[in-house]
Structure 1
Amino acid sequence: MSSIKEQLVILQQIAKERTVKTQNIEYDLETLVKKIDKNIIKLDPEYQRNHRWDNQLSSRLIESLILNIPVPTIYISQDIDVDEEVEDVPRYSVIDGQQRLTAIYNFMSNNMPLEGMEVLKLLNGSFYKDLPPFLIRRLEERTIKCLRIDSTLDPQVKYDIFERLNSGSVKLEAQELRNAIYRGPFNKLIKELAENVDFRVLNQINLKDPESAKKVQKMEDVELVLRFFALHNNRYENLKKGFKAFLSDAMKEFNLLSEQELMKFKKDFIETMYLIRHTFGDKAFAKYRVDKVGHEQEKLSKMSNFNAAVFDALSIAFVDLVNLDSPDLPNSVVQEYLDLFKDKRFFDSVSGSVNDREKVKYRIEAVKELLK
């Protein structure tokens, strides 16, 4: 059996051999395309996966680049030293980011039309050459962060790095797009309110490490705050077109509010979250179902600790009806609220296609009836 000292020596040697040397650089898209064209960057090393994005997913990446939405870092391996001149041998290979670079290259080489664009719909069907000059300049000058990995790594180490880094396709979440497009004081406010402690607890986000939560990473928490304001003050009555568009219209409208109006928004949200948490507990927005016990009895069982439709019902009813400065709630309110889940129509309103106008209206007004 080897001694601890011998094990430490082996450990040091492995750590030294496997330590990855890196360098952060930024390339503009025009430069990246030229490097791919000249075979300086090899897009399809043998350790890359075979999956290829379709035109729609590629187009959504182009849309995010035009809108200046951050995209993940590209990881490239420096296979040949920059001072060496070796003909027909790529200088760099892509460890992570192949799909992104392929999408960029295909579009900027006029080999792919845009399709499925959600924000820049007017560009659907366009090739790169069809873009107006200002958008061509914007794309050419847009930069992407790259992490260059030292050339001394053997292929297996590169493969290991790729497996650890690869995170799949870049998906443009609705709130990420709104954050890029509808910039203004309201947008700033909802990002601030998404960090409210009561809200995070109710939203089942770990206070010690909130950034690791997928809801935070995808800005779903910020969208919930937007949802609160978009529906409050009986605004849910105006929900006629799709819910996505309804939220986007609210972002645009609320960015024009005065500082005083936004301060009122802030106060209402903070006090509502505080009151709900301290009345109904940390899992106030949980969803329940009815389980049969015997022939006559019914028992509620929890389906999830947080449900966005339940969030609508409880939070909007509270902010619209309860005097937040001096709430006067009966002791029976918690049980009466839980009993709503025994009502099939209420349960249906927080299940399935929950953003349907009639479902939104019914679940909010059902809770309002308890608070009157």
Structure 2
Amino acid sequence: MTNSLDSELLAAEQAMSTDSYSMSIGELISSYVGGEIEVNPAFQRFFRWTDFQKSRLIESFLLGLPVPPIFVYQRTSGHWELIDGLQRVSTILQFVGELKNKSGDLIDPLTLTETKYMPSLKGMIWKETPDNLKVLPDALKLKFRKARIDVKIIMPKSAELSKYELFDRLNTGGSQATSAEVRNCLILMKDASFFEWLSDLVDHPSFVNSIPLTERAEAEQYRIELLVRFLILQDTSVEEAKAIPDLETYLNDKILEMASNPNLDRKEIADKFRKTFDLLFNIFDEGSFRRLNIAKGAHVGPFLLAAFEVIAMGVAKNLDNVVAKGDVWLEERIKQLWEKELIVKSIGLSSSRRLGQTIPLGRSHFQ
């Protein structure tokens, strides 16, 4: 056992190499402006601080308070790719008027709000504007630029996937980022075109309209979470599903594998996805994944994940057969699921126990 642990530790240490560096805010700004550090603008859609949170960070630098480090991946060219610390770095850059969006256009500079220890910061900006807003005094500008932030660097000899592993671990287990938000950023880091493909799928009208979600679920990117589950779990064997130790890690690993697959037929997958949800929405509208009240003959209540796993993935797996049998047959088959309480048995179970029931049920029920 000791030898195994020693060898595992050695292998992991060889795959990971890190360094530390303390840099001034002025250096950080110059590095970004000079193209030496990449802050992926697409990430900004997932992590959004309020102006108060941003202003409090600026106040912390001015007061000399400690700020958590940022993490970067150093490419062989020497350029840095920001892995963790998006909000801190974006706030700094926006405050000084240097932050750019995905199109390369400058984002509106930050106007500070009132803070706890320096309430007079309210309304202050970095650069003068025609609006004659209050400009931060030069002495405070100098203090801000000289303030320092620690940088943790993942070095080039690290395994390629180490930056994804690092990002994942830094943003799960107590972070405010949801698992779906973390996964989206992992995908963006791996292949922006693959993420754009997913974004196109997730906006398909039948998919959106057949799954009414709360505002909070929408804001936390839960719809793309459902898309990822649909794409990955369709081809997961029952045995594998039952043995998944942590579903979020499993989905992260599998979607990154999919993003890395040069032979992936995106058109075929997209066509199957759209046909599945077009079919379900045309028959059941918003009730596709809601419980069927037999007495009322209507689908009621909230969206049910177990119903989604049985119906959406089961229909997709047997799509040719379902289409051949027709709408009346499909409506009757789904009615039977609720009459016999087949889906109900899976509601509330842990992911591995639930998937061990929902995946085989969907595959067999729509054959």
Coarse TM-score class (shorter-chain normalised): 0.5 to 0.7
Q: What is the aligned partner in structure 2 of residue 256 from structure 1?
A: 260
CA contact (8 A) 1:66 1:139 kept: no
How much has 1:359 moved relative to structure 2? 1.5
Q: Quick one: distance in 2 between partners of 1:203 and 1:103?
A: 42
Give the structure-2-normalised TM-score.
0.54
Q: What is the aligned partner in structure 1 of residue 76 from structure 2?
A: none
Q: Quick one: distance in 2 between partners of 1:326 and 1:285?
A: 19
How much has 1:244 moved relative to structure 2? 0.3
Specify whether residues 136 and 195 from structure 1 end up closer, same or farther in structure 2 by C-alpha distance, changes over 3 A only: closer
How much has 1:246 moved relative to structure 2? 1.4
The match for 1:180 among 182, 185, 197 is 185
Q: What is the aligned partner in structure 2 of residue 48 from structure 1?
A: none
Q: Quick one: distance in 2 between partners of 1:357 and 1:150?
A: 46
Specify whether residues 312 and 96 from structure 1 end up closer, same or farther in structure 2 by C-alpha distance, changes over 3 A only: same
* One-letter code aligned to 2:312: S
Root-mean-square deviation (CA, aligned residues, Å) is: 4.7
Q: What is the aligned partner in structure 1 of residue 330 from structure 2?
A: 333
1:245 aligns with 2:249: yes
Q: Quick one: distance in 1 between partners of 2:238 and 2:62?
A: 44
Q: What is the aligned partner in structure 2 of residue 142 from structure 1?
A: 89
CA contact (8 A) 2:229 2:251 kept: yes
> In the TM superposition, what whole-angstrom CA distance separates every residue of 1:50-101 from its partner, at most 9, and x where no partner exists?
xxxxxxxxxxxxxxx99984343553xxxxxxxxxxxxxxxxxxx4546666
CA contact (8 A) 1:314 1:364 kept: no
What fraction of aligned residue pairs are identical, expressed as a percent?
13
Q: What is the aligned partner in structure 2 of residue 171 from structure 1?
A: 176
Specify whether residues 305 and 264 from structure 1 end up closer, same or farther in structure 2 by C-alpha distance, changes over 3 A only: same
The match for 2:200 among 188, 192, 195 is 192
Q: Secondary structure at the match of 2:306?
A: helix
Give the structure-1-normalised TM-score.
0.53
The match for 2:48 among 68, 72, 88 is 72
Q: Quick one: distance in 2 between partners of 1:177 and 1:274?
A: 29
Q: Structure 1: state its 5+ residue gaps.
A: 1-27, 34-64, 76-94, 115-119, 121-132, 159-168, 206-211, 291-297
The match for 1:219 among 215, 218, 221 is 221
User: How many residues end up aligned between the 2 structures?
Assistant: 252
Q: What is the aligned partner in structure 1 of residue 163 from structure 2?
A: none
Specify whether residues 330 and 220 from structure 1 end up closer, same or farther in structure 2 by C-alpha distance, changes over 3 A only: closer
CA contact (8 A) 1:187 1:251 kept: no
Q: Quick one: distance in 2 between partners of 1:137 and 1:361?
A: 35
Larger Rg: 1
Q: Secondary structure at the match of 2:286?
A: coil
1:348 aligns with 2:366: no
The match for 1:308 among 287, 293, 305 is 305
Q: Quick one: distance in 1 between partners of 2:263 and 2:81?
A: 34
Q: Secondary structure at the match of 2:260?
A: coil
Q: Secondary structure at the match of 2:308?
A: helix
What pairs up with 1:1-372 in 2 under 5 angstroms? 30=25, 69-70=43-44, 71-72=47-48, 75=51, 95-97=52-54, 110=66, 142-144=89-91, 145=94, 147-148=110-111, 171-183=176-188, 184=191, 185-204=193-212, 213-235=215-237, 237-239=239-241, 240-258=244-262, 261-288=265-292, 304-323=301-320, 326-329=323-326, 331-344=328-341, 346-353=343-350, 356-372=351-367
